[in-house]
Amino acid sequence: MSSISDNLQAVLAHIHAYAQQSGRDPSQVDLLAVSKTFGADAVLEAVAAGQRRFGENYLQEALDKIQAVQAAKLVSTAAWPLEWHFIGPIQSNKTRPIAEHFAWVHSVDREKIALRLSEQRPDHLPSLNICLQVNISGEESKSGVLPAEALALAQQIAVLPRLSLRGLMAVPEASDDEQQQRRAFRQLKELSQSIQAAGIALDTLSMGMSSDLHAAIAEGSTMVRVGTAIFGNRNYAK
Ligand SMILES: *Cc1c(COP(=O)(O)O)cnc(C)c1O
């Protein structure tokens, strides 16, 4: 089995190569390491290999992990601290710890959640960075605002204090067909462009996971969220 450090270097090399193939500057594609279901030890291994941004889906698991990682008091992170991103479904009664412990939230899909995050973001912290999760494939079971409703939601959120609306996030319907993957990502990019044309500044397209990195980067992703390719297969039974 390859190590987390080896996997991380391989993913970074892929991001670099895919960006160059698409005529993009590789430094414009950030890597979010999705550490859900893996322990603080796995995060610390990735930190030792240079990774600083981590994505989590499950709140209690994330809070325990953040605390365990902080307790490790990493000297190496003094200059460039860790950045935690919440990317999972949000229950409205669980917004306060998210507002208090994360730098980014990628999964905002309704105004109620944004209002609570805005009210609950502590004053001593910088604004909470927000991406709207869009149900780009229009799947019934998926969370995310529908594309037709994204502009209105962006307008509501852009004016809220203590939040900084940064962009859009999507998890398209799974497909092995790269052309189909690209179509979904292109739709998200075009939606972002239309929101910007309406006067709302956005600089982030959070799209692409282990199995569709290439398509996402080709279509303009600025942040890929990669779990399996770094940490291995998840075991939800544990
Ligand atoms: C789990 C998850 C990822 C990572 O997926 P991999 O296929 O393991 O790379 C990315 N984004 C979201 C929203 C996730 O829930």
- The domain containing residue 167 runs over which residues? 4-231
Q: Tell me if 172 CB under 6 Å of ligand 1.
A: no
Question: Structure pTM?
Answer: 0.96
For 62, list phi and psi in degrees, rounded to 5. Answer: -65, -45
CA dihedral sign of residues 113, 119, 122, 123: positive
* Any domain includes 238: no
What CATH number has the domain bearing residue 168?
Answer: 3.20.20.10
Is there a domain that residue 111 lies in?
yes
Report the separation in Å between the CA atom of 96 and the middle of ligand 1, taken as the mean of its atom positions.
23
pLDDT score for 80: 75
58 C-beta neighbours (distance < 10 Å), count: 14
Into how many domains does the chain fold? 1
236 assigned to some structural domain: no
Q: What is the pLDDT of residue 26?
A: 97
pLDDT, tens digit, for every residue of 48-103?
A: 999 999 999 999 999 999 999 998 877 666 667 899 999 999 999 999 999 999 99
What's the 34 CA to ligand 1 centre distance in angstroms? Answer: 6
Residue 78: predicted pLDDT: 67
| pLDDT at residue 182, rounded to an integer | 97
Per-residue model confidence (pLDDT) at position 2: 84
Decide whether any atom of ligand 1 lies within 6 Å of the 227 Cβ: yes
124 CA distance to ligand 1 centroid (A)? 30
196 domain-assigned: yes
* Cα torsion 224, 227, 232, 233: sign: negative
| pLDDT of the residue at 134 | 98
State the CB neighbour count (10 A cutoff) for residue 111: 14
Close Cβ partners of 216 (under 8 Å, ≥ 6 residues apart): 181, 185, 207, 208, 209, 224
The answer, yes or no, to whether any atom of ligand 1 lies below 6 A from the CB of 225, is yes
Q: Is 199 among the domain residues?
A: yes
Instruction: Tell whether 237 is covered by a domain.
Output: no
Mind giving me the DSSP string for 116-152? Answer: HHHHHS-TTSPPEEEEEEB-TT--TT--SB-HHHHHH
Q: Split the chain (238 residues) into runs of 10 and give each run's mean pLDDT.
A: 93 98 98 97 95 97 96 73 96 97 98 98 98 92 92 98 98 94 98 98 98 98 98 85
Whether the CB of 87 sits within 6 Å of ligand 1? yes
| Residues 70/105, Cβ–Cβ less than 8 Å | no
**Residue 2 zone, left/alpha/beta (φ > 0; ψ -120 to 50; rest):** beta
- Ligand 1 centre distance from Cα of residue 64 (Å): 20
pLDDT at position 140: 81
Q: Which amino acid is at 132?
A: L
* Residue 199 alpha carbon to ligand 1 centre in Å: 30
Residue 36 near ligand 1, beta carbon < 6 Å: yes
Give phi and psi for 5, each to the nearest 5: -65, -45
What is the pLDDT at residue 72?
86
Kindly state the helix (H) or strand (E) to which residue 85 belongs, with its residue range: strand 83-86
Q: Which atom of ligand 1 is nearest to the CA of 229?
A: 9
Contact 94, 116 (CB under 8 A): no
Mutating to test ligand 1, I would choose from 87, 107, 221 the residue with most ligand atoms within 8 A of its C-beta, which is 87
